[in-house]
Each structure stands twice: as structure tokens, then as C-alpha cells.
């Protein structure tokens, strides 16, 4: 049985677990930029079904920590290889309850 990372984990919490943190953060920044103005209240949740080595990512606009995502707030989701994945509110239990902002992801790029 797989060990799940904690439900409230954020990318900043598990960055040391990633197999290729630098590439992961660079790809995430590019995906966030492709979703529009990344400074316009974009954030990211990580998938929590794995152990944090190669998480999936969900990019959101106007997300609220601790609250379920609505369909209109979900902009994109992709796996650790950058492949697009299908996700919707029915999958909220698979995603962290907390988010990282675009600024927090940019700060990670300077340390990985």
C-alpha cells in the first residue's frame, strides 16, 4: 500500500522529496504562465495520492486554502511528466487542501 503525503502538503513542503526538483519547478512555472497572467491570483495544488517524488499539479485561479475547488477555478492539471490530465471537482479529495502562489513557486526556482 502506498503511503500518502499529508492532505495539507504544499509543493514547498515536499520540494526536498522531488526526484528532479529544478525541472519540476521550471515546468510548473511554464504551465502557470500558459494559463494566463500568472500573477493574477494563480496558485497550484499538488496531488496527494503518492509519496511526493513525482506529484501531479492542479493550476487554479482564485483558490481558497481549505476549500474545495469549483470547476470554473480549475485551469489545468498535469502529471509529473508534463502530460495533461483530466480533473474536476469530483476529484478534489485527490488534491492537497493547501496551495502555493505563483510567487512562492518562483521563489522555489531560486533554491532548487
Strand extents, DSSP E, 47-91: 57-61, 74-78
Question: What's the pLDDT score for residue 1?
Answer: 41
Overall pTM > 0.85: yes
Task: Indicate the Cα dihedral angle 17, 102, 42, 5, nearest 10°.
Answer: 10
Nearest CA among 26, 30, 27, 64 for reference residue 45: 64
* Number of residues written out for the chain: 112
> Which are the contacts of 39, defined by CB distance < 8 A and separation ≥ 6?
102, 103
Residue-level pLDDT, tens digit, the chain, 112 residues: 456 789 999 999 999 888 889 999 999 999 999 998 877 789 999 999 877 778 899 999 999 999 999 999 999 999 877 888 988 898 899 999 999 999 999 999 988 8
Nearest CA among 22, 12, 58, 63 for reference residue 41: 63
What is the residue extent of each domain of the chain?
11-109
Which residues are registered as beta bridge partners of 43? 60, 101
In the numeric block, the cell 526526484 is attached to 19
Amino acid at each position: 500500500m502506498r503511503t500518502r503525503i499529508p492532505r495539507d502538503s504544499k509543493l514547498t513542503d515536499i520540494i526536498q522529496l522531488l526526484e528532479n526538483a529544478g525541472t519540476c519547478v521550471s515546468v510548473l512555472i511554464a504551465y502557470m504562465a500558459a494559463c494566463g497572467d500568472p500573477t493574477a491570483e494563480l496558485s497550484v495544488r499538488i496531488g496527494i495520492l503518492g509519496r511526493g517524488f513525482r506529484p501531479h499539479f492542479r493550476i487554479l485561479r482564485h483558490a481558497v486554502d481549505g476549500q474545495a475547488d469549483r470547476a470554473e477555478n480549475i485551469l489545468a492539471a498535469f502529471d509529473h511528466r508534463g502530460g495533461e490530465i483530466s480533473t474536476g471537482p469530483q476529484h478534489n479529495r485527490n488534491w492537497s487542501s493547501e496551495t502555493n502562489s505563483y510567487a512562492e513557486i518562483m521563489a522555489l526556482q531560486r533554491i532548487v
